[in-house]
Structure 1
Amino acid sequence: MSQKEIAILAGGCFWCMVKPFDQWDGIESVISGYTGGHVANPTYKEVCTGTTGHTEAVQITFDPTVISYSEILDIYWQIMDPTDAGGQFVDRGSSYRPEIFYTSPEQQEIAEASKAALDQSGRYDKPIVVPITKASEFYEAEEYHQDFYKKDPEHYARYSQGSGRVAFIEKHKA
């Protein structure tokens, strides 16, 4: 890759946030982890308690000459519910909240414009409530969470269907 940038996005369970990005040219890696909280090096168990302030998120390393940050946000808006600040689908609470964590002023500007465009599009009958926040430390999740859709495809498929995510995405396709 000639250049690398980082995008950090939270959209509920990080298992379901990896595969949609993994398939695009220009994406070098998608790492599951935790961010947005106040506890250093949190574990999955700690984050699930809702006391760390962290949310499950993915850190996407990408080549902006192949796929732009704006294109990454277009994918993001299509794989989660941007009208639900209390979690995503069956996963409730602050550790599953959606959030965009920008890593530069340019990303902040692009994210704000992207969110405003989605809000004005009429695609959803409720306001877009995803916060756009300056990125803080990102902590990589335990190995068993990485690339979960590849490690246990049957469980992944059951979860993504059973959680309501797949049906929601189909209903709101752009």
Structure 2
Amino acid sequence: MSETEMYQKATFAGGCFWCMVKPFDEQPGIGSVTSGYTGGHVPNPSYKEVCSETTGHYEAVQIEYDPSVFPYEKLLELYWQQIDPTDPGGQFFDRGQSYKTVIFYHDEEQKRLAEESKDRLGKSGIFSKPIATEILPAKEFYPAEEYHQDYYKKNPGHYQRYSRGSGRVAFIENHWGDKNE
């Protein structure tokens, strides 16, 4: 089996895709994390088009992972710890449809695991409001422009200011501790 055959795909929308790359990128068994757009009706959209809220797309990350090293269940657990799953209108100070949270499943097993994970989180008592994150079938994924890829590595100062200034870091620390920073 070749290395590419070992990898499976997972796709998550969690608000600004800049903030969704680093937590996954640093895990064992992750082949790649690509920032991009998915879920909409416009082929190969630009960042400006997605921000216009006319394409139906979400900012998302597509992760290629080795399930024998980092299983999908662990990806889901890490995903929940990066977002406010109770916010139906976006994430932190990024508002609008393109910043909503969605788990895009690639097969029925991912769908089942995502639904079970969402149900467990809802019953956990961690959040006082209902879980608003949707679980939808994966659609065509369009990689974002190159300057968006690995943004946390290319622009570490701006990335840190943005992730803290948006309220994301404080929210994560408040709900999960500081293990994600």
Task: Give the TM-score normalised by structure 1.
Answer: 0.99
User: Which residue pairs with 1:141 in the alignment?
Assistant: 144
2: CA distance between counterparts of 1:33 and 1:161? 22
Say whether residues 1:111 and 2:114 are aligned partners.
yes
2: CA distance between counterparts of 1:98 and 1:110? 17
Task: Give the TM-score normalised by structure 2.
Answer: 0.95
Q: Percent identity?
A: 63
User: Which residue pairs with 2:155 in the alignment?
Assistant: 152
Following superposition, which runs of at least 4 residues in structure 1 exceed 2 angstroms of deviation?
none
Alignment gaps of 5+ in structure 1: none
RMSD: 0.8
Letter in 2 for 1:103: H
1:86 is matched with which residue: 84, 89, 109?
A: 89
Say whether residues 1:43 and 2:53 are aligned partners.
no
User: Which residue pairs with 1:66 in the alignment?
Assistant: 69
Aligned residues: 174
1: CA distance between counterparts of 2:134 and 2:90? 13
Say whether residues 1:99 and 2:102 are aligned partners.
yes
Offset at residue 85 of structure 1 (A): 1.6
Alignment gaps of 5+ in structure 2: none
Offset at residue 155 of structure 1 (A): 0.2
